Amino acid sequence: MKDENKDNITATVGLFSGRPNPKITLENDLAAEFSEMIHAAIGKEAANPPPAPKLGSYYGFTVTMPRNKAQELELPQQIRINNGVLTVTRNKEENHWRDVANIEELLIKQAYEEGLGDLLQKFDIPNPK
């Protein structure tokens, strides 16, 4: 994981492994690309909620950012991405959108680049390269 910065976008990898969930950091160009992809996906195609996570399974990413960063990028402070579905909570209401921009793939690639490949492979998450 890169240096913690209060303005960073952090993606927590959801793994029911009995250990703390690893985190990756989205900075600079990657943060900008992520933002563009989220804007391209939210509101485009409604989706059903992703399946509930099961013990011993991968359950996507929870992406969080500080309020000022979210306002700057015009994004919610938290976005969950799992099984090709984006989940955004606004005013206590969850909305689900199909991941038409392949954001989950981007996050998986970044997790591999940050050295989490062995762990992801244990959960049958291949490197999208």
Amino acid 92: pLDDT: 86
Q: Looking at the domain assignment, is residue 27 inside a domain?
A: yes
- Whether residue 44 has pLDDT greater than 90: yes
Distance of alpha carbon 64 from alpha carbon 126, whole angstroms: 24
Cross-strand partners of 22: none
- Whether residue 5 has pLDDT greater than 70: no
Q: Looking at the domain assignment, is residue 127 inside a domain?
A: no
Distance of alpha carbon 26 from alpha carbon 33, whole angstroms: 9
- Whether residue 9 has pLDDT greater than 70: yes
Q: Looking at the domain assignment, is residue 129 inside a domain?
A: no
Q: Looking at the domain assignment, is residue 76 inside a domain?
A: yes
Q: Looking at the domain assignment, is residue 128 inside a domain?
A: no
Specify the number of domains making up the chain. Answer: 1
Please state the pTM of the whole predicted model. Answer: 0.90
Amino acid 7: pLDDT: 75
Range of the domain at 57: 9-122
Tally of CB atoms within 10 A around 10: 18
Q: Looking at the domain assignment, is residue 67 inside a domain?
A: yes
Q: Looking at the domain assignment, is residue 61 inside a domain?
A: yes
Q: Looking at the domain assignment, is residue 4 inside a domain?
A: no
